[in-house]
Amino acid sequence: MSKLSHVDEQNRPTMVDVSDKAVTDREAHARAIVRLPTEVLAALDGDDIATKKGPVFATAIIAGVMAAKRTHELIPFCHPLGLEKCKITIDVTGQQAVVDCRCKVHHKTGVEMEALTGASIAALTIYDMCKAMSHDIVIGETRLISKTGGKQDFYRDD
């Protein structure tokens, strides 16, 4: 079994020491799927959903970017990163909103958690803003699609 990166020799939780790592360009892409019931899809007007709270997808994009920038405040052992890029897109395909979050940084550590956090919070914002229309909204799979620039690159091929 491989050693966990966030546990020290005495089996105590710890932040990973990145002091000897090389600074490289690092990118990550994460995706969250939000299944939308018919009532919510009926409110779709163009490429957004209008509610009393405001434009759903535009607000979710802002919330996701804000969350990605603050990932280190939410997840205890994440290093604080000055993100150089965070782009969130939301596309409706069939009965689901596909939330993609792409992050980039020039640093010693990767941005997978930032991308996953951005996609997750954008999905939660969609739920929050649409829950008055239906509680049958389902936040489904949230996963890493790709990452580059670290010890090893990763690309999901499905």
Is 5 a residue whose pLDDT tops 80? no
- pLDDT tens digits, 117-126: 999 999 999 9
How far is Cα 98 from Cα 96, in angstroms, rounded to an integer? Answer: 6
Is 1 a residue whose pLDDT tops 80? no
Q: Catalytic site residues? A: 128
Calculate helix-pair angle for 112-130, 56-69, nearest 10 degrees: 150
Tokens standing for residue 136? 């049958």
**Is residue 10, in this structure, part of any structural domain at all?**
no
User: 89 in helix, strand or coil?
Assistant: strand
How far is Cα 39 from Cα 16, in angstroms, rounded to an integer? Answer: 46
**Is residue 111, in this structure, part of any structural domain at all?**
yes
What is the model's pLDDT at position 8? 79
**Is residue 126, in this structure, part of any structural domain at all?**
yes
Which residues span the domain enclosing 60?
24-147
When pLDDT is averaged across residues 14-20 and rounded to a whole number, the result is: 82
How far is Cα 40 from Cα 50, in angstroms, rounded to an integer? Answer: 10
**Is residue 11, in this structure, part of any structural domain at all?**
no
Which residue type is seen at 122?
A
**Is residue 68, in this structure, part of any structural domain at all?**
yes
**Is residue 138, in this structure, part of any structural domain at all?**
yes
**Is residue 100, in this structure, part of any structural domain at all?**
yes
User: Global pTM?
Assistant: 0.91
The structural domain count of the chain equals 1
* CATH number of the domain encompassing residue 61: 3.30.70.640
When pLDDT is averaged across residues 120-144 and rounded to a whole number, the result is: 97
What is the model's pLDDT at position 12? 84
- CA 11 from centre of chain: 29
- pLDDT tens digits, 51-102: 888 999 999 999 999 999 999 999 999 999 999 999 999 999 999 999 999 9
**Is residue 16, in this structure, part of any structural domain at all?**
no
